[in-house]
């Protein structure tokens, strides 16, 4: 009898943790880990002129339907360069199943000691965000 009462609190807490799971939407949902990509901007610092800074963006489908990424467009100065996710080519959508991820990498190579800004636009069939705009922000500094 004593053994049963020791396990009762453990069983109670285990069962309590199993409830309240949110339902997954039936339509594809685009989730990104950020809305802006800043390059070495901590403490108002920047990236040395001629050096390269990298930043990655996570794309994830948080819906039941297949997410189709149809277009990734960079609208920024030539100091920014996009490395597209593996498997994505313009004209061929990138398919992400439920909870699958893809990564976009952006390179920033300043040529002068000024601030650079731009946007990265991701188009998809997501019900929550068919067009997601990510801000780009970098600062070139002299070494």
Lowest pLDDT segment from 12-16, 92-96, 110-114:
12-16
CA distance 55 to 136: 10
Label residue 25 exposed, middle or buried (CB < 10 Å: 0-12, 13-18, 19+): middle
Q: CA 10 → CA 19, 20, 21, distances in Å?
A: 15, 18, 20
Q: Is 3 a residue whose pLDDT tops 60?
A: no
**Whole-number pLDDT of residue 45:** 86
**Whole-number pLDDT of residue 24:** 86
Taking the CB of residue 103, how many other CB atoms lie within 10 A of it? 14
Segment holding 37, helix H or strand E: strand 36-39
25 vs 3, more confident: 25
- Do residues 23 and 117 lie in contact, with contact meaning Cβ atoms separated by under 8 Å? no
Total-model pTM: 0.80
Q: CA 104 → CA 26, 120, 132, 136, distances in Å?
A: 25, 10, 13, 13
Tokens matching residue 129: 């965000």
- Mean pLDDT along residues 109-123: 96
**Whole-number pLDDT of residue 1:** 47
- Mean pLDDT along residues 94-104: 95
Spell out the domain ranges in the chain.
24-141
CATH topology of domain 24-141: Immunoglobulin-like (2.60.40)
Beta-ladder partners of 95: 68
Give the residue from 58, 36, 41 showing the smallest Cα distance to 120.
36
Condensed to tens digits (0 to 9), the pLDDT of residues 5-26 reads 566 566 656 665 555 557 888 9
**Whole-number pLDDT of residue 89:** 81
Condensed to tens digits (0 to 9), the pLDDT of residues 62-93 reads 999 999 999 999 999 999 999 988 878 878 88
């Amino acid at each position: 009898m004593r053994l049963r009462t020791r396990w009762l609190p453990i069983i109670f807490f285990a069962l309590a943790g199993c409830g309240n799971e949110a339902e997954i939407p039936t339509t594809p949902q685009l989730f990104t880990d950020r809305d802006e990509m800043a390059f070495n901007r901590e403490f108002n610092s920047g990236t040395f002129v001629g050096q390269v800074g990298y930043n990655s963006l996570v794309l994830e489908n948080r819906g039941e339907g297949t997410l189709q990424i149809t277009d990734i467009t960079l609208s920024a100065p030539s100091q920014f360069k996009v490395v597209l996710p593996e498997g994505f080519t313009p004209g061929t959508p990138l398919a992400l199943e439920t909870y699958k991820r893809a990564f976009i990498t952006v390179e920033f190579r300043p040529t002068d000691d000024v601030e650079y800004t731009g946007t990265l636009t991701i188009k998809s069939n997501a019900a929550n965000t068919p067009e997601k705009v990510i801000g780009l922000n970098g600062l070139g500094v002299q070494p």
